[in-house]
C-alpha cells in the first residue's frame, strides 16, 4: 500500500483550475516534497488530501482511505501543519497540545506521555507552560509540528513549514523534520518554494506549476537530467553577449537574468576560454565567468521556464512571514 | 452514535472556551459595564415612573432588570459567533475542522461553551442588580427564570453560530449586531411595556422571540407578566429549537477557507 495515491485529482475554482489531473504515489516512510511557485496549487492539493476541500474530479487514498468517502479515517491518520498559523495563542503550549489530543480521542495517560515526547522532539519542553502569544514565530511553528505528531499520524503534511523564518530557525526545523521522519517512521509530504529545503529534506520532489506536476524524481536524478555544467557570465552589454552565445554550437542553452547570462555547456572548465574568446570577438569585455553544477533552481528553471530563488519570494509571502515572526497571525 | 456525539471533543471545546473566558478579565468586567449603567441610570432616574400596566408596587428598576438581564444573555450569547470568526481569522478553525470529530459535536461543544459564559454573565448581572435593589419574589420564580435564561442563551448562541457560518469577517458581523440584535432587543419590551408602542410596532414585538424571553423572566423574577407562562415558554422553546436546527445546519456547511 502506498501512503498516498491520487488519480486524476483536480480542483477547479470557477474558471481557474488550481490543481490539474494529478497522479501521484508516495511510498511509506518517504519525505516527499512539492516544489512550486506562489499560486501553483500546493495548498489546494494538500487541502484535498486532508479532506478540507472536496476535489472537483479524480480520487485519492491516504493510508488506504478514500478521501471522499472515509473522511474520518483519513483525518485520524494524518497530521497537519497549515501554511498559516493555526494555534490558539490564549492557551499555553501544553494546553494547545492537550486540546489536540482530546479532539483525537487520546486517553489521559497516553496524552500526558505523548505531550512530553513531542515537546522534547521539537525542543520546547521548557516553554510548555507559556501562553502561545509569548512564543516567537519559530517556536510557534515547532509547536505546530509537535501538535501534528501528537496522535501518531501515519502521514504528516507540512505546508511551507519554514516560510518566513530566519535561516537559523529554518535549519533547526529541518533537523527536527529529519529526526521525526527517522524516529517516528512517519511519512511526510511537504510543500515549499525553497530549493535548499527540498534538496536537503526530500527523498523525492515533484515540481508543480499552474496546478500540474511537471516531473517527479529524486533531487539527484533531477539535477543529473540536466546533465550539463552551467557557466555564469557577466558583462556590461548583456544583449550583444546573449546574441553572440546564441550562435555558438558549444552553447546548449542560454538563459538571461538581470545581471548575468547562464549558459548550459558540457565540460564547463574547458569552455571558460571559449567564452572569453567569443566575447572578445564581439567586442564585449566580460567582468566575470564562473562554472558550477546544476542546482534544483536550474532544474526548476528548466521545467517551468522561470526561477524561484529566494529573492523572488513574493511580497505576500514576505508579509506573511514577517507576521509569523512577530507572532501576530493575520491580525 | 458514539462517533456522532463525541463527549470528549465536546468537553474539550467547552473547556477551551472556559479557559479563554476566565483569562480575559477585561471582557468579563467590560461586559457588565453597559447593563450596569443601564440599570443604575434607568432604575434610579425613573424611580417613580410607572409605565402602562406595571403594578404600582413594582418600581421601574424591578421592571427593567429582567429586561436588561435578557439583553445581557442575548449579547453574551452572540459572542460565540464572534469567537468563531476570531478562530477563522486566526486559523484555529482549521485545526478544529481537520480533527476526526463530527460537526454536530463541534456545534454542541461551542454551544455548551457559549451558553456557560452567557449564563455566567447573567448571574453576575443578577448579583449586581440584587445589590442595586432588585427584589426576588420566590424560589420557584428563580427556577422559572433560570429555565428562561437557559432558553435565551441557547437560542442566541445558535443564532450567533448560524450567522458566523455565513460570514467571512468581523465587519459583516457588527452589521448584523446593529441591524438585527438591537431591534430585537428594543422590540422585546425590555425597557418599557409594549402597550406604549403603536399597533404596528406591537405586532413586530409579538413576533420578536426575545419578547417572550423577557416576559418569562419578568414572571420569574418579579412575578408579573403580560402573557401566561406556558405561552412564553412554548414560544421561546419553539424559537430555540429552530435556532439549534439552523445553527447546526449552517455550521455543518461551513467552508474552512
Ligand atoms: N478558495 C479559493 N477560491 C478561489 N480560488 C482559490 C481558492 N483557493 C485557492 N485559489 C486559487 O488557486 C490557485 C492555487 O492556490 P494555492 O493556495 O493552492 O497555491 P500555493 O501553491 O499554495 O501558493 P503559495 O505558495 O502562495 O501558498 C491560486 O491561483 C489561488 O488564487
Ligand atoms: Mg500555499
Is residue A145's pLDDT more than 50? Answer: yes
Q: What is the pTM of this model?
A: 0.85
Is A88 close to B12, i.e. CB distance below 8 A? no
Residue B53: its pLDDT value, please? Answer: 67
E strands of chain B, at which residues?
none
Is residue B79 situated within a structural domain? yes
Is A91 close to B16, i.e. CB distance below 8 A? yes
| Tens digits of residue pLDDT in A255-304 | 888 888 888 888 888 888 888 888 888 888 888 888 888 888 888 888 88
What is the DSSP pairing of strand A4-13 with strand A78-81?
Answer: unpaired
Q: What is the count of structural domains for chain B? A: 1
The proportion of chain B whose per-residue pLDDT surpasses 70, expressed as a percent, equals: 98
Is residue B224 situated within a structural domain? yes
How far is it, in rounded angstroms, from Cα A5 to Cα A30?
Answer: 13
- Ramachandran sector of residue B254 (left: φ over 0; alpha: ψ -120 to 50; beta: rest): beta
| Residue B185: count of CB within 10 angstroms of its CB | 20
Edge-first strand order for the sheet with A155-159 is A78-81, A155-159, A187-192, A31-35, A204-209, A212-217
Is A105 close to B8, i.e. CB distance below 8 A? yes
Question: How distant is the Cα of B168 from the closest Cα of chain A, in angstroms?
Answer: 14
What class has domain A4-222? alpha beta
Is residue B50 situated within a structural domain? yes
- Ramachandran sector of residue B156 (left: φ over 0; alpha: ψ -120 to 50; beta: rest): alpha
CA dihedral sign, ordered B234, B238, B239, B243 = positive
Question: How distant is the Cα of B104 from the closest Cα of chain A, in angstroms?
Answer: 13
| Tens digits of residue pLDDT in B29-85 | 888 888 888 888 887 777 777 766 677 777 888 888 999 999 999 999 988 888 999
CA of A84 to the centre of ligand 2 (A): 9
Residue A326: its pLDDT value, please? Answer: 46
| Tens digits of residue pLDDT in B137-157 | 788 999 999 999 999 999 999
Q: Which of A302, A285, A291 is nearest to A235 (CA)?
A: A285
Task: Please say whether the structural domain A227-293 has been given the CATH code 3.40.50.2300.
Answer: no
How far is it, in rounded angstroms, from Cα A178 to Cα A166?
Answer: 18
Atom of ligand 1 nearest to the CA of B257: 1
H helical segments located in A190-254: 195-201, 219-226, 238-246
Nearest CA in chain A to B9: A103
Q: Ligand 1: which residue has its CA nearest to atom 29? A: A39
- Quickly list DSSP for A182-206: HHH--EEEEEES-HHHHHHH-SEEE
Is B19 close to A86, i.e. CB distance below 8 A? no
| Residue B44: count of CB within 10 angstroms of its CB | 13
CA dihedral sign, ordered B186, B190, B196, B197 = positive
Residues of B in contact with A134 (CB under 8 A): none
Spell out a b/e string for A31-43, using b for 16 or more CB atoms within 10 Å of the CB, else e.
Answer: bbbbbbbeebbbb
Is residue A13's pLDDT more than 60? Answer: yes
Give the structural domain span for B140.
7-252
CA dihedral sign, ordered A119, A89, A188, A307 = negative
The domain limits of chain A are 4-222, 227-293
Find the helix or strand (DSSP H, E) in which A79 lies: strand A78-81
Q: Which of A131, A2, A120, A110 is nearest to A61 (CA)?
A: A2
- Quickly list DSSP for B116-156: HHHHHHHHHHHHHHHHHT-----HHHHHHHHHHHHHHHHHH
Amino acid at each position: 500500500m502506498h501512503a498516498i495515491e491520487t488519480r486524476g485529482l483536480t480542483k477547479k475554482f470557477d474558471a481557474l483550475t488550481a490543481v490539474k489531473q494529478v497522479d501521484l504515489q508516495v511510498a511509506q516512510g518517504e519525505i516527499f516534497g512539492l516544489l512550486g511557485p506562489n499560486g501553483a496549487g500546493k495548498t489546494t492539493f494538500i487541502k484535498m488530501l486532508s479532506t478540507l476541500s472536496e476535489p472537483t474530479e479524480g480520487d485519492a487514498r491516504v493510508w488506504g482511505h478514500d478521501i471522499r468517502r472515509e473522511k474520518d479515517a483519513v483525518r485520524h491518520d494524518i497530521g497537519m501543519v497549515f501554511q498559516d498559523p493555526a494555534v490558539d495563542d490564549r492557551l499555553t503550549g501544553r494546553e494547545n497540545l492537550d486540546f489536540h489530543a482530546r479532539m483525537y480521542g487520546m486517553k489521559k495517560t497516553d496524552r500526558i506521555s505523548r505531550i512530553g515526547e513531542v515537546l522534547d522532539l521539537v525542543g520546547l519542553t521548557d516553554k510548555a507552560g507559556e501562553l502561545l502569544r509569548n512564543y516567537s514565530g519559530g517556536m510557534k511553528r515547532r509547536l505546530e509540528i509537535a501538535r501534528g505528531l501528537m496522535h501518531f499520524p501515519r502521514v504528516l503534511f507540512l505546508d511551507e513549514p519554514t516560510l518566513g523564518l530566519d535561516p537559523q530557525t529554518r535549519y533547526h526545523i529541518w533537523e527536527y523534520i529529519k529526526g521525526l521522519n527517522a524516529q517516528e517512521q512517519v511519512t511526510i509530504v511537504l510543500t515549499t518554494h525553497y530549493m535548499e529545503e527540498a534538496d536537503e529534506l526530500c527523498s523525492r520532489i515533484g515540481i508543480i506549476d499552474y496546478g500540474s506536476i511537471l516531473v517527479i524524481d529524486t533531487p539527484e536524478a533531477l539535477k543529473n537530467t540536466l546533465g550539463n555544467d552551467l557557466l555564469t557570465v557577466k558583462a556590461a552589454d548583456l544583449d550583444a553577449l546573449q546574441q553572440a552565445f546564441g550562435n555558438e554550437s558549444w552553447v546548449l542553452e542560454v538563459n538571461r537574468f538581470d545581471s548575468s547570462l547562464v549558459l548550459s555547456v558540457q565540460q564547463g572548465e574547458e569552455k571558460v576560454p571559449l567564452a572569453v574568446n567569443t566575447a572578445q570577438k564581439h567586442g564585449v569585455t566580460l567582468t566575470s565567468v564562473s562554472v558550477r553544477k546544476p542546482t534544483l533552481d536550474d532544474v526548476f528553471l528548466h521545467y517551468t521556464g522561470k526561477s524561484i530563488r529566494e529573492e523572488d519570494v513574493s511580497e505576500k509571502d514576505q508579509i506573511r512571514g514577517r507576521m509569523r515572526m512577530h507572532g501576530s497571525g493575520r491580525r | 452514535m458514539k462517533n456522532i456525539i463525541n463527549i470528549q471533543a465536546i468537553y474539550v471545546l467547552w473547556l477551551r472556551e472556559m479557559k479563554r473566558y476566565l483569562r480575559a478579565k477585561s471582557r468579563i468586567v467590560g461586559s457588565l459595564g453597559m447593563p450596569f449603567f443601564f440599570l443604575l441610570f434607568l432604575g434610579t432616574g425613573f424611580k417613580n415612573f410607572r409605565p402602562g400596566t406595571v403594578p404600582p408596587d413594582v418600581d421601574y428598576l424591578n421592571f427593567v432588570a429582567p429586561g436588561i438581564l435578557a439583553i445581557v444573555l442575548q449579547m453574551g450569547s452572540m459572542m460565540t459567533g464572534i469567537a468563531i470568526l476570531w478562530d477563522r481569522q486566526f486559523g484555529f478553525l482549521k485545526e478544529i475542522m481537520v480533527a476526526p470529530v463530527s460537526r454536530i459535536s463541534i456545534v454542541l461543544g461551542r454551544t455548551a461553551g457559549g451558553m456557560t459564559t452567557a449564563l455566567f454573565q447573567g448571574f453576575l448581572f443578577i448579583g449586581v442588580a440584587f445589590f442595586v435593589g432588585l427584589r426576588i419574589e420566590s424560589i420557584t420564580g428563580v427556577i422559572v427564570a433560570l429555565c428562561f435564561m437557559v432558553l435565551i442563551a441557547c437560542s442566541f448562541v445558535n443564532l450567533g453560530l448560524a450567522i458566523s457560518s455565513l460570514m467571512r469577517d468581523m465587519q459583516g458581523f457588527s452589521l448584523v449586531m446593529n441591524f438585527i440584535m438591537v431591534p430585537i432587543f428594543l422590540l422585546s419590551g425590555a425597557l418599557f411595556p409594549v402597550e406604549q408602542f403603536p399597533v404596528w410596532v406591537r405586532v413586530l414585538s409579538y413576533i420578536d422571540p426575545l419578547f417572550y424571553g423577557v416576559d418569562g423572566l419578568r414572571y420569574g423574577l418579579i412575578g408579573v407578566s403580560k402573557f401566561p407562562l406556558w405561552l412564553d415558554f412554548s414560544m421561546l422553546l419553539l424559537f430555540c429549537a429552530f435556532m439549534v436546527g439552523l445553527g447546526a445546519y449552517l455550521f455543518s456547511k461551513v467552508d474552512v477557507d
